């Protein structure tokens, strides 16, 4: 019942939000005829509407995951291409904060594996978005390495590291819980649903994996996980 309610509510709000996003996009195209204050208001509308859309997606995804209604695909995935696209998606946000966004991919990585590209992209995107959000200067990096090869599978390690604010030791165990951030001050300053890492945790459970974190306040955080992907035929 909870998942059905969230799905219905999200669908109705999305229907109302879509024309708003479209209209704001059209207004933004009239840049030459806008005053500086009008441009500023339109940028705020664009940011707020897209943020709301993202929040709705997170709430809906969490409801589906919690209800056990998310299933993984198993199709050929080009990991180099996937990680490059994930980096490209997050580059504008990193550039806006003058952060260096780095990708490191093991040269021995297989050309393709069998997996779910949509859910893997979601996991990496949530981790990168989180890292960029909580990093004010320095860098954010995404790395992928080959840990082990068996006759049937490749075991890979994915890692997202940042030079951000870090996480207090007493908060490390709870950050993967729903609606959780490290502190009330953090929630007020950085906003968000607090569902991003909870979604990562649940998606990795579907992959029979788990997320680990190492962090030091004021120096940054390192999130990493391993997935054993079946080999392509």
Q: Is the pTM of this model over 0.85?
A: no
Summarised one tens digit per residue, pLDDT across range 103-128 is 999 999 999 999 999 999 999 999 99
E strand segments, 64-198: 75-77, 100-105, 113-115, 139-149, 153-162
Higher pLDDT, 32 or 202: 202
Range name among 57-61, 118-122, 178-182 with the lowest pLDDT average: 178-182
Summarised one tens digit per residue, pLDDT across range 197-233 is 888 999 999 999 999 999 998 899 999 999 999 999 7
DSSP for 44-99 reads HHHHHHHHHHHHHHHHHHHHHHHTT------EEE-HHHHHHHHHHHHHHHHHHTT-
């Amino acid at each position: 019942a909870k998942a059905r309610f969230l799905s219905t509510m999200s669908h109705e709000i999305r229907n109302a939000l879509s024309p708003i996003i479209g209209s704001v996009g059209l207004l933004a195209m009239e840049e030459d005829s806008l005053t500086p204050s009008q441009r500023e208001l339109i940028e705020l509308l664009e940011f707020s509407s897209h943020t709301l859309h993202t929040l709705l997606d997170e709430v809906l995804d969490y409801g589906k995951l919690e209800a056990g209604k998310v299933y993984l695909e198993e199709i050929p995935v080009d990991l180099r291409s996937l990680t490059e696209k994930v980096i490209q998606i997050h580059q504008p946000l990193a550039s806006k904060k003058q952060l260096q966004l780095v990708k490191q991919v093991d040269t021995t990585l297989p050309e393709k594996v069998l997996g779910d590209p949509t859910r893997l992209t979601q996991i990496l995107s949530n981790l990168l978005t989180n890292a960029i959000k909580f990093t004010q200067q320095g860098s954010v990096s995404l790395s992928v390495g080959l840990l082990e090869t068996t006759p049937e599978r490749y075991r890979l390690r994915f890692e997202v590291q940042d030079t951000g604010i870090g996480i207090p030791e007493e908060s490390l165990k709870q950050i993967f819980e729903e609606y959780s951030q490290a502190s009330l001050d953090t929630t007020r300053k950085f906003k968000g649903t607090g569902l991003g890492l909870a979604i990562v945790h649940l998606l990795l459970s579907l992959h029979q994996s788990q997320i680990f974190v190492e962090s030091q306040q004021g120096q940054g955080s390192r999130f990493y996980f391993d997935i054993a992907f079946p080999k392509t035929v």
